[in-house]
Structure 1
Amino acid sequence: MVEEMKSTHFLEELQRQFEKDFKSQNPELFDVAFDIDGKKLYAHKYRLSMISSTFNSMLSDRWSFKNEAVSIKDYKFEDFKELLTFIYSGKCSINDINIFTMLDISEYYQIEHLKELCDEYLSKMEFNLSNIFKVLETSNTYSLIKVKKAISSFITPHFTTLIKSNEFLNAKKMVMKEIITFFATKPNKHENLFLSIYEWAENQANLKKQQFSNDEIFNMKDKIKVEMQDFLPLFEFNKMKSSFLLNFVVPRGFLFTRDELADIIEYSKSNFKVTITNNLGHSIFGILSKENKDTIEIIKTICHSESENWLSYIIYWNPKRQRPSTPSLLKKSDGVSWYLLYSCEGAVAVKHRFNITVFDYLIAEMFPETNFEITEKCKIEIE
């Protein structure tokens, strides 16, 4: 009889010996030395080469000489020691001071498990305006997953403070793109986001202007357009208020092609934005085209008036009108939870998709900014 046996105690003892040997830094136990700031660190070529493709190349005969210490110039002694400590023990001391260096060193030496530890550490960091932009830039540079989720949780409730900060105005372009990509999916933030990004672009253009001499030609509009051009496709102008488009976007028509500007002007004159806000301050919005003239006029008559609430699943406003006799062209869509509609009694109403019946006449899809819920005394506005 043959049975394969395994001793975990042997493996654990072997690992403990590896850690003990590394801590001793006895040159006789190792076959490679590193020189950092005039100090030496010793390790095993095989162990490093097995774990890291970067070390494998660095320690090959093509790049290093036998018995000669390998010079490390890009990292400090303590940081490089933490890297080797992790390779020998799986442990690493990370703090707010060395986290960005340890992340960079894990990327450079292709130590994925150390990179994951750095990602986890950053995701638990206490964010504020002083560090959030650097962390956001870092998460994008190193494709971190956990910290991006943590960043999203922080920036959503701090949106207004974030976009008004000096740190925002001086953030890098890659960070701006990350912020736009995130907030572009958040209804009721499109106008403020576009305004803030434009102010950022103005600030960037002004910084560049200071680098030019008075004799050089500097076109401010051209520079702003250069800063904005990568961002414009990310904005959904059809979800912005008509008044904002006409008063802010259209006067800055130099940002767009003639056809793009014409579409924005046409849209701003042809569509109305309907917003419903509950007594918690949470809102949903939808877009009505000018073809819904009768509905638009009805909503204007009840604008700012409080709703009546029935059984907690419908918001509706009077006056009532006769429900249209022809079927609605709008159908329920996946991913849309709320709809503006005429109830079977003819009232202007809002329902969740699960409560809509065949007797309801759908008018528009409604998009929530946060987790919207029906409350008493909801208000309706149209612009």
Structure 2
Amino acid sequence: MEGSDVTFNIAGDKFQAHKLVLAARSPFFKSKFSNELEPNSTEVTINDLEPKVFKALLQFIYKDSLPEEVEPTLIVKLLAAADKYYLNRLRLLCESHICKGVSVKSVAKILALAHIYKATELKSVCLKLTAENLAAVLETDGYQQQKDECLSLQSELLKAVAAFEESSHSIGGAMSLSVWAQLSDGGGGGDTSSRHVRQRTT
């Protein structure tokens, strides 16, 4: 790359870039170039990204776009990179892509990812879909896995379901108590905030 002044070593693959461009786009790189690297250092090794992920990351930084054809697994890895490198617009682009593939079967796992990587728009979509299809979501393997790994989501799920339940009452719908109990007790009975939400909706 013409005029480049830094080379990134990603699992043996080399990528040339410009410190000024990266620092302008990412607070992470701005801090790294200002405080961590020696003034004359021209190579940076990154061990937690795959070459194809870093290549897509550079494309976003330089062109403000993503590759035309992006695999779902790559988008998830880019979402993680967006969180690490403080690239809020990249986070939004990744959220938009992932939202298109959210389904009852996948929503629990995607919700957990959205929570981990602070993807608020994606999280909102997942919570809404879960609330509207709670009984089916509770039966998925994804929900069974994420409820134990991310118990902090239980109270947020209950709040989303409570809001949906409240709107359902206005058109004559209601959720069965057994479904409420399954969700409320899913965290092992220790979530007092979950019980509080449940009491407000009965």
TM-score class, shorter: 0.7 to 0.9
- 2:168 matched to 1:234? no
Q: Cα offset for 1:199?
A: 4.8
The match for 2:151 among 153, 164, 173 is: 173
Tell me the amino acid that sits aligned with residue 63 of structure 1: E
1:72 aligns to what?
46
CA contact (8 A) 1:168 1:200 kept: no
More helix by share: 2
Q: Cα offset for 1:86?
A: 0.9
Matched pairs, number:
188
2:23 aligns to what?
49
1:177–1:42 CA distance, 2 compared to 1 (3 A)? same
Tell me the amino acid that sits aligned with residue 175 of structure 1: L
Overall identity of the aligned pairs, in %? 20
2:77 aligns to what?
101
- 2:78 matched to 1:115? no
CA RMSD, Structure 1 to Structure 2 (Å): 2.3
- 2:36 matched to 1:63? yes
Q: Distance in 1 between matches of 2:195 and 2:129?
A: 25
1:164 aligns to what?
139
TM-score normalised by the chain length of structure 1: 0.45
The match for 2:109 among 130, 134, 159 is: 134
1:237–1:192 CA distance, 2 compared to 1 (3 A)? farther
Tell me the amino acid that sits aligned with residue 71 of structure 1: T
Q: Cα offset for 1:117?
A: 0.5
Contiguous gaps of at least 5 residues in structure 2: 167-173
Q: Which has the larger radius of gyration?
A: 1
Secondary structure at 2:9 match in 1: strand
CA contact (8 A) 2:184 2:198 kept: no
More strand by share: 1
- 1:202-351 mapped onto 2 (5 Å cutoff): 224-226=188-190, 228-236=191-199, 239=202
1:197 aligns to what?
183
TM-score normalised by the chain length of structure 2: 0.81
CA contact (8 A) 2:104 2:130 kept: no
Q: Distance in 2 between matches of 1:128 and 1:238?
A: 24
1:165–1:119 CA distance, 2 compared to 1 (3 A)? closer
1:144–1:32 CA distance, 2 compared to 1 (3 A)? same
The match for 1:144 among 111, 119, 122 is: 119
Contiguous gaps of at least 5 residues in structure 1: 1-24, 202-223, 240-383
Q: Distance in 2 between matches of 1:190 and 1:236?
A: 14
Provide Cα deviations, 1:193-230, integer angstroms capped at 9, x if missing partner: 431135523xxxxxxxxxxxxxxxxxxxxxx443x334
- 2:65 matched to 1:91? yes
1:53–1:162 CA distance, 2 compared to 1 (3 A)? same
Greater RCO between the two (CA within 8 Å, min separation 6)? 2
